[in-house]
Amino acid sequence: LTFPLLSVTLLVSFGSSMLYGYNLAVVNSPAEHIKAFYNATWSQRYGRGLGPAPLILLYALTVSIFALGGLVGSLLVGLLVERYGRNGALSRSALLVLLAGGFMGFSRELGSPEMVIIGRSITGLHSGGCFLGCAQPLPHGSGDGEGFVFPTGSVEGIFICLGVFSAQVLGLPELLGKDRFWPLFLSVVVVPASLQLLLLHCFPESPRYLLIERNDICGATKALHRFLGTPDVQDVIEEMKEEQRSLSSMEMVSVWQLLRDRSVRWQTLSVAVVNAGMQLSGIDAIWFYTNTIFENAGIPVSQIPYTTMGTGAIEVVAGLIGCFTIERVGRRPLIITGFCAMGVCSAGITISLLLQAALPWMRYVSVACVVGIIAGFCMGPAGVPFMMTAELFMQSHRPAAYIVGGSLNWLCNFTVGFIFPFLQMSAGAFCYLVFCGVCLLVALYVYLVIPETKNKTFMEISHIFA
């Protein structure tokens, strides 16, 4: 990797995947402070506080509205990238984050819980556009999985872990974990967005976008000189021209056509299963409600922030392991092992919670199981589904496949974030068995149906499915 190529890859990851991870975990630490703010505001407006159930409902909406914004952003990003290019789409997304940070940062001063919810939805809109759009291979002007400047699955997994870890560190009581700092804690998202906005203009536009979408051969050549650090880029230009001719003669498949196409029926079902399973595995419940889970497990309240930060550090290590082993081990073993580990650990949390009254040391087993779920997720399911989506389909089907996978990803994220508090209230320790069942079923499906995609062409993969 040349320095400009590495720099822009890290910049895109920092402002997309890392920000996505931060927004997943940022609501965990200040949960009680935000609930107290909602209750106090409600009392000032209507003369009475919120009951337990309405308060949980309002907070669950605050947590999960992020995913609905992400769904909308993932559906719109193709149009933005096609119209404005990578840099233009990322710049407009960064401006959205600045707006969201303003809403959340001034929400308490203006006594408006609605501003927190609106800010969360806007950050979701940004993450949907960047994490599952600009930072993913899209045929709409940004490359096709072999682009010059965009991170791929395992790298994104690392930056998600770093984002989660940074939220856990900043949420410590010694930093921004105090009651008076929670609006600032939520609005920290403006820092990476501002940095990305300032630095993006230092890098040229995506060469593929310039040549394929704008037919700007001169601009694409200059961008390649900058990114590749070599004066001889004619071979790459000819390769992109060939791709341009191929795309111009290719008819892109719509989502409806993809769902009706029997020749890729198993590939489509596989994308749906792994993307839905990734979110229904319980990882979002862990990220959104870590402190609540540890509190129910009997961890002393004073130790919970540091325990949470420790799980985040292990998460980063697991992400690095997954990144450096995926090309050596393959996609299939990592995703099967990851889901199996998550399923076993989800069952372990249930067992430890049931036995902790008789065996106090079981609380530490709960912590170990949470660490196991996070490590299992980061080593496989975190990044592999995005890579598989690109590898299971030819270029004409890939945009529709990303829409199907991304939509299910965000819808399941919303579902878990919204219903988990109520599931925990109604089912108690047994709620984790739902996640256990999902993880083991997805692992079984991958084992029985999905082949290894490493170093295989689309035609070879299609033949194996058939």
pLDDT for res 154: 56
* pLDDT at residue number 3: 63
Cα separation, 146 vs 123, whole angstroms = 28
List of residues 6+ apart from 162 with CB closer than 8 A: 18, 21, 316, 319
Q: Is pLDDT above 90 for 367?
A: no
Options 3.40.50.2300, 1.20.1250.20, 3.40.50.300, 2.130.10.10; CATH for 253-465 is 1.20.1250.20
HSE-up (13 A, CA, CB side) for residue 373: 29
* Local structure of residue 144 (DSSP, 8 states): S
> What pTM value is reported for the model?
0.83
Which of 54-68, 213-227, 275-289 has the highest mean predicted lDDT (pLDDT)?
Answer: 54-68
Tell me how far CA of residue 256 lies from CA of 70, 250, 261, 284, 398, in angstroms.
21, 17, 9, 29, 13
Closest CA to 252 of 396, 404, 401, 403: 396
Q: What's the CA gap between 384 and 372, in Å, rounded? A: 18
pLDDT digits (tens, 9 = 90+) for 283-303: 888 888 888 888 877 788 888
Cβ within 8 Å of residue 232, ≥6 positions away = none
Question: 245-249, 262-266, 270-274 — which one is most confidently predicted on average?
Answer: 270-274
Confidence label for 112 from pLDDT (cuts 50, 70 and 90): very high
Residues of the chain within CATH 1.20.1250.20 domain(s) are: 1-136+148-203, 253-465
CB 163 within 8 A of CB 22: yes
| Cβ atoms 125, 96 nearer than 8 A | yes
Cα–Cα distance measured from residue 84 to residue 208, given in angstroms and rounded to the nearest whole number: 13
In this structure, of 91-100, 107-116, 198-207, the range with the lowest mean pLDDT score is: 198-207
Q: DSSP states of 127-141 as a string?
A: HHHIIIIITS--TTT
* Distance (Å, whole) CA 357 – CA 298: 9
Domain 1-136+148-203: give its CATH code.
1.20.1250.20
Mean pLDDT over 269-273 rounds to 92
* Distance of alpha carbon 110 from the chain centroid: 31
Q: Residues 207-224: pLDDT tens digits?
A: 877 887 778 888 888 888
More reliable by pLDDT, 211 or 45:
45
Non-local CB neighbours of 352 within 8 Å, separated by 6+ positions: 297, 362, 363, 365, 366, 369
Tokens at 416, concatenated: 């878990």
Number of separate helices (H) and strands (E) present in the chain: 22, 0
